[in-house]
């Protein structure tokens, strides 16, 4: 039976940038399908994981420093540019994630935009909090940036981002990416890039 994988993501997360890239090989080598689900990781942190903010207040913390080193190593292993952090970090992602929500019903277009946006932020250090930058990114991949920007101001798109975030929290999310795999009569949630081997394992379970 084909499994549907829900991949809840926020463009502001560097670990999500890696997992977004790396999970595609897993999906391509299985009979699973993936559904890209934009949400607002800040909303998740505010609801269930405020310790993230405390960790950011002490960037000299040995665990924090080590995690950045490991992030760069994972990026090198994956062959993914990781020109990070930039002057825009931590970036406010609400505008960017509304762009993604406006595209959610068109999964190929959402994938195309998210791929370009990840590259823009983690490769070229462009500011994803700037609507003009988001419009340009969309235009660069043959999407109508101005139309998407207009849609982001519609209540339906704002409501969708809120609903996606609330859904992820209700299913157990505490950060980005949160990956949900059908398992038995329920589902398993996996978090981050490091747990992708478990995602691959769970997909293969009957």
Question: What string of pLDDT tens digits covers the 206 residues of the chain?
Answer: 799 999 999 999 999 999 999 999 999 999 899 999 999 999 998 888 676 656 566 667 787 788 889 999 999 999 999 999 889 988 999 999 999 999 999 999 999 999 999 999 999 999 999 999 999 999 999 999 999 999 999 999 999 999 999 999 999 999 999 999 999 999 999 999 999 999 999 999 97
User: If DSSP codes are grouped into helix, strand and coil, which group holds residue 103?
Assistant: helix
**CA torsion angle 81 133 177 104 (round to 10):** -130
Domains, the chain: 4-204 (3.40.30.10)
User: If DSSP codes are grouped into helix, strand and coil, which group holds residue 34?
Assistant: strand
Give the global pTM: 0.94
* Contacts (Cβ under 8 Å, ≥6 apart) of 84: 14, 71, 122, 125
**CA distances for 196 relative to 18, 26, 48, 104, 143, angstroms:** 10, 8, 23, 23, 30
CA atoms 97, 103, 108, 112: torsion sign = negative
């Amino acid at each position: 039976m084909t499994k549907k994988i829900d991949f809840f993501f926020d463009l502001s997360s560097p670990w999500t940038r890696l997992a977004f890239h790396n999970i595609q090989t897993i999906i391509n080598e299985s009979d699973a399908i993936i559904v890209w689900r934009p949400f607002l990781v800040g909303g998740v942190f505010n609801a269930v994981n405020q310790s993230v903010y405390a960790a950011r207040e002490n960037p000299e913390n040995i665990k924090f420093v080590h995690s950045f080193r490991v992030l760069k190593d994972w990026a090198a292993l994956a062959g993914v540019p990781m020109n990070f952090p930039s002057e825009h970090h931590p970036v406010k992602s609400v505008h960017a994630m509304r762009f993604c929500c406006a595209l959610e019903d068109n999964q190929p277009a959402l994938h195309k935009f998210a791929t370009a946006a990840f590259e823009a932020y983690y490769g070229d250090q462009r500011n994803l909090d700037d609507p003009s930058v988001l419009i340009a990114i969309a235009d660069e991949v043959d999407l109508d940036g101005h139309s998407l920007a207009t849609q982001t101001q519609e209540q339906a798109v704002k409501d969708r981002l809120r609903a996606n975030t609330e859904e992820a929290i209700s299913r157990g999310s505490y950060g980005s990416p949160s990956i949900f795999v059908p398992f038995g009569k329920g589902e398993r949630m996996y978090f981050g890039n490091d747990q992708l081997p478990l995602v691959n394992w769970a997909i293969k379970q009957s």
